[in-house]
């Protein structure tokens, strides 16, 4: 039995281990007898033990764990990012589906505002953020008449196209223009906006 202390025993072990580790051994002395040197080189220079894994994430969350709306944002932003050299018109039908207004405002609008500089983007939407805050050059409003002879009527113009006060004409009799139609259809009118703002004003952070 050795009279060395535990510290000395560990020191001897480490010294022998380091000596063995620094000693160059032929490869054929390190492989199992059931394998040849050729087997080793075939394995070493192959790529079978390499694997490439990729994943798509949004805000550091893997795509698998995202909500349907977040998946929609991720795929849309990915499409816009990889398609940044495309100049053909882009038509998107209701990109706001399953998305909350904050996500639309924070994540999508800035992409549309930058892409529209060199590419025509046509969006079918019922979301005021996508119409107003993207600063759309032209808004097309579809009016549906569902009476005996149903038909669609379209009005178009810019957001700067608004009603003009006419002398001796009550405000309610002045025809709506594009801006008023956008406000009424997408926001429910000016009154709901005012009432919502009154509620939001209660918060010091609004």
Same domain, residue pair 131 and 103: yes
The residue segments making up the domain with residue 37 are 6-45
For residue 160, give the nearest of 180, 130, 144, 140 by alpha carbon: 180
The set of long-range contacts for 111-118, using a CB threshold of 8 Å and a minimum separation of 24, is 111/77, 111/80, 115/80, 115/84, 115/90, 118/87
Q: What φ, ψ does residue 95 adopt, rounded to 5°?
A: -65, -10
Band (137; pLDDT cuts 50, 70, 90): very high
Q: Which residues, in sequence order, are bridge partners of residue 139?
A: 157
Same domain, residue pair 107 and 22: no
Same domain, residue pair 111 and 77: yes
Same domain, residue pair 32 and 98: no
CATH of the domain at 123: 3.40.50
Residue 62 has pLDDT above 70, yes or no: yes
Q: What φ, ψ does residue 139 adopt, rounded to 5°?
A: -115, 130
Q: Is residue 51 assigned to a domain?
A: no
Q: Which residues, in sequence order, are bridge partners of residue 91?
A: 122
Band (58; pLDDT cuts 50, 70, 90): confident
Q: Is residue 168 assigned to a domain?
A: yes
Taking the C-alpha atoms of residue 54 and residue 143, their distance in angstroms, rounded to an integer, is 47
Same domain, residue pair 96 and 183: yes
Residue 182 has pLDDT above 90, yes or no: yes
Same domain, residue pair 11 and 96: no
Same domain, residue pair 25 and 107: no
Please tell me whether the overall predicted TM-score, pTM, comes out greater than 0.85 for this model. no
Give the pLDDT of residue 67. 84
Q: Which residues 6+ apart lie within 8 Å of 76 measured at CB?
A: 92, 95, 108
Taking the C-alpha atoms of residue 185 and residue 171, their distance in angstroms, rounded to an integer, is 18
Same domain, residue pair 32 and 110: no
Same domain, residue pair 139 and 82: yes
DSSP state, residue 173: G
Express each pLDDT in 97-127 by its tens digit.
Answer: 888 888 888 888 988 898 888 889 999 999 9
Task: Return the number of other C-beta atoms located less than 10 Å from residue 179's C-beta.
Answer: 17
Same domain, residue pair 138 and 159: yes
- As for how many domains the chain has, the answer is 2
Same domain, residue pair 10 and 74: no
Q: Which residues 6+ apart lie within 8 Å of 123 measured at CB?
A: 91, 92, 95, 112, 130, 131, 134, 136
For residue 81, give the nearest of 120, 52, 48, 108 by alpha carbon: 108
């Amino acid at each position: 039995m050795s009279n060395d202390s535990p510290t000395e025993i560990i020191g001897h072990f480490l010294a022998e281990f380091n000596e063995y580790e620094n000693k160059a051994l032929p490869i054929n002395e390190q492989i199992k007898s059931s394998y040849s040197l050729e087997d080793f080189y075939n394995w070493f220079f192959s790529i079978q033990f390499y694997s490439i894994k990729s994943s798509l994430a949004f805000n550091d969350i893997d795509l698998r764990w995202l909500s349907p709306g977040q998946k929609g944002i991720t795929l849309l932003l990915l499409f816009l990012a990889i398609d940044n050299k495309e100049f053909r018109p882009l038509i998107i039908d209701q990109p706001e589906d399953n998305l909350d207004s904050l996500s639309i405002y924070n994540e999508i609008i800035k992409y549309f505002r930058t892409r529209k500089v060199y590419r025509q983007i046509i969006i079918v939407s019922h979301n005021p953020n996508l119409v107003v805050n993207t600063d759309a050059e032209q808004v097309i409003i579809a009016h549906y008449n569902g009476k005996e002879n149903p038909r669609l009527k379209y009005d178009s113009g810019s957001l700067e196209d608004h009603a003009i006060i006419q002398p001796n004409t009550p405000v309610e009799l002045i025809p709506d223009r594009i801006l008023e139609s956008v406000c009424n259809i997408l926001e429910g009118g000016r009154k709901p906006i005012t009432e919502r703002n009154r509620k939001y004003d209660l918060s010091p952070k609004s």
